[in-house]
Structure 1
Amino acid sequence: MKKEMLEGLSPEEKKELLATLQNEANEEKNNRRQAYEELREKFAQDVQARLNDVVTAVTEFREWLENESRAFRDVMAEYGQLRSESQGGFTMTVGDFRMTVAANNVKGFDERADMAAERLVDYLKRYVQQTEKGTDDPMYQLAMTLLERNKSGDLDYKSISKLYDLETRFDAEYAEIMQLFKESNVIQRNAQNFYFHRRDDVGVWRKVEPSFCRM
């Protein structure tokens, strides 16, 4: 608005004009915020919908691949191409495509490990009471760290195995607890991992990883 037009307005009119301009500015700001929030929600919904499709497709592919590779392995075993001690892994190369199925036994613990862990915690509490360093004792801190559980609440097999190496640092009671851990060790399941490779134009095998972060 031109300066000379403002000069012709009364104080009340200027006040009313200012209020009108402020209302228009606030309305524009609200409209921009509403437009942004609508765009934000639409974008998130689109991402989620496509993500769900991808997760479903990958899950179905994994299940299909596990079943088909297991069936093909049975054919290979019957045909005589698998060693008798094989855990179920094999590599198949056809043309420029190679697939490796790596199977391994996953070790874990039964309920006796929980008993051993509880006994070890009590043992370590009594141990620190007899040392000058108390809970600052490195052996105590190391043992307690190795007893930490993963997100699923399970003891880690490799960590517990490291506790066995500490037997010479403690007494017969500690060794007895370690024996209980060893007795609780069981093979829980057979895990399968799949690896894919494709040979490029110069004959080099390149790893194909169906991972979103590696594409």
Structure 2
Amino acid sequence: MAIDISQLSAEELEAALAKKKEAERLEREEKRRTYEELREETIEELGTAAHDLSLALERFNAKVFSQMRTLYELLQDYSKRHKDGKGNFEIKNDDFKILFKKQGKGTFDERSVQAEKHIIDFVNSKFENDVDTRDLIMSLLERKKGDLDVDLIQKLYAMEDRFDDDNWREGIRLLKESYSYNHSKDYIAFYKKGRDNRWIGINLNFSNF
């Protein structure tokens, strides 16, 4: 029902205005209380969930790296691969794939030069008339920007017990002793196979020093 304010006295106008202001104040107060209650509820709920999720991820991170490193060590032992490998490998089944990647740089020191000389002496004496074998072994000693290739040297290690020769054994020994690996981080990535058989990354970024 509309009120003709021209018919109201000054006291009635003041009372009506005061009532309106009080109603507006109560409305603001209710909105403020609703906001503050929702804010506190949101902080508590999301903060607690984030904290619990962080702890769960931390525990999972530790489990992931422990199991993958154990598996890698067993793989090295099982496959008789030397520790000079880069350490990158992946495991997968019909549903999931897990990639383990080591970040760092491997180098051979000055002893590798002496190792090369021993292996060259071996090759020249053992395969003097076998050019193909000699070239094959020598190709594994190829240097790139002055550095031996760890992957190629691994192939030499795989033939370590094949030849009974002092120069050969000494060369392999010096290669192993000359190698060092400057490790920085390990990374693990998870994938799930999609409907089109393509690997889709699971949104977990794990790295570990």
Q: Distance in 2 between matches of 1:81 and 1:201?
A: 37
Look up the match of 1:206: 200
> Which deviations, in whole Å up to 9, do the C-alpha atoms of 1:100-139 show, x marking residues without a partner?
10012389xxxxxxxxxxxxxxxxxxxxxxxxxxxxxxxx
Look up the match of 1:53: 52
> Which deviations, in whole Å up to 9, do the C-alpha atoms of 1:166-210 show, x marking residues without a partner?
xxxxxxxxxxxxxxxxxxxxx775411002222223322222232
Look up the match of 1:24: 23
Matched ranges for 1:111-150 at <5 A = none
* TM-score, length-scaled by structure 2: 0.54
Q: Distance in 1 between matches of 2:185 and 2:89?
A: 13
What are structure 1's unaligned runs of at least 5 residues?
108-186
87-96 vs 23-32, which moves further? 87-96
Q: Distance in 1 between matches of 2:28 and 2:200?
A: 53
Look up the match of 2:39: 40
Residue type of the partner of 1:34?
R
Cα pair 2:102 2:183 within 8 Å, conserved? no
Q: Structure 2 vs 1, CA of residues 28 and 209 (structure 1 numbering), >3 Å: closer, same or farther?
A: closer
Residue type of the partner of 1:2?
A
What are structure 2's unaligned runs of at least 5 residues?
107-180
Look up the match of 1:133: none
Look up the match of 1:78: 77
What percentage of aligned pairs have identical amino acids?
20
Q: Distance in 2 between matches of 1:57 and 1:82?
A: 34
Cα pair 2:189 2:204 within 8 Å, conserved? no
Q: Structure 2 vs 1, CA of residues 206 and 16 (structure 1 numbering), >3 Å: closer, same or farther?
A: closer
1:83 offset after TM fit, Å?
A: 4.6
* TM-score, length-scaled by structure 1: 0.53
1:8 offset after TM fit, Å?
A: 4.9
1:72 offset after TM fit, Å?
A: 1.3
Find out whether 1:3 has 2:10 as its counterpart. Answer: no
Find out whether 1:194 has 2:194 as its counterpart. Answer: no
Q: Distance in 2 between matches of 1:207 and 1:30?
A: 48
1:13 offset after TM fit, Å?
A: 2.3
Q: Structure 2 vs 1, CA of residues 67 and 56 (structure 1 numbering), >3 Å: closer, same or farther?
A: same
